[in-house]
Amino acid sequence: MAISTTPTSFFLIAILVLLVPINHSFSSSSNGGDIHSELTDLRSQSPTGVIHLSDQLLRRILTVKTPRPFNFVIFFDAKQLHSKPELSLPTLKDEFNLLSSSFYTNNPENVKLFFFTIEFQESQTSFALFGVNSLPHLRLIPPSAIDLKKDSIQMDGSDLARLAESMAEFVEAKAKINVGPIHRPPMISKKQIMGIVALGLVLSPFLVKKIVSGDTILHDKHVWMAGSIFIYFFSVSGAMFNIIRKMPMFMVDREDPGKLVYFYQGSGMQLGAEGFAVGFLYSIVGLLLAFMIHVLVRLKSRTVQRVVMLFALFVSFWAVKKVIHLDNWKTGYGIHAYWPSSWN
Show pLDDT as tens, one digit a residue, over the chain (344 residues).
333 434 444 343 334 333 333 343 334 334 556 888 899 999 999 999 999 999 999 999 998 888 999 999 999 999 998 888 777 888 899 999 999 999 999 998 888 999 999 999 999 999 999 999 888 899 999 999 988 889 999 998 777 766 888 899 999 999 999 999 998 887 777 888 888 889 888 888 887 877 777 777 777 888 888 888 888 888 888 888 777 777 778 777 767 767 777 887 776 677 888 888 888 998 899 899 989 988 888 888 889 899 999 999 999 999 988 888 888 888 777 766 666 777 65
Distance CA 290, CA 180 (A): 45
Q: Please report the pLDDT score of residue 18 as a whole number.
A: 37
Distance CA 130, CA 153 (A): 10
Q: In angstroms, what CA-CA distances link 116 with 51, 62, 128?
A: 5, 14, 17
Distance CA 277, CA 275 (A): 5
Strands 113-119 vs 71-77: parallel, antiparallel or unpaired: parallel
Q: In angstroms, what CA-CA distances link 319 with 57, 257, 283?
A: 56, 31, 9
Region for 176 from its dihedrals, namely left if φ exceeds 0, alpha if ψ lies in -120 to 50, beta otherwise: left
Strands 251-252 vs 137-141: parallel, antiparallel or unpaired: unpaired
H or E stretch covering 209: helix 190-213
**Domain map (residue ranges) of the chain:** 35-175, 188-213, 220-331
Beta carbons of 171 and 73 less than 8 angstroms apart: yes
Interior CA angle at 188 toward 186 and 192, to 5°? 140
Distance CA 324, CA 221 (A): 34
CA-based end-to-end distance of the chain: 115
List of residues 6+ apart from 221 with CB closer than 8 A: none
Beta carbons of 164 and 96 less than 8 angstroms apart: yes
- pTM, 2 dp: 0.57
Q: Please report the pLDDT score of residue 161 as a whole number.
A: 67
Q: Which amino acid is at 254?
A: R
CATH topology of domain 35-175: Glutaredoxin (3.40.30)
Q: Please report the pLDDT score of residue 21 as a whole number.
A: 39
Distance CA 291, CA 280 (A): 16
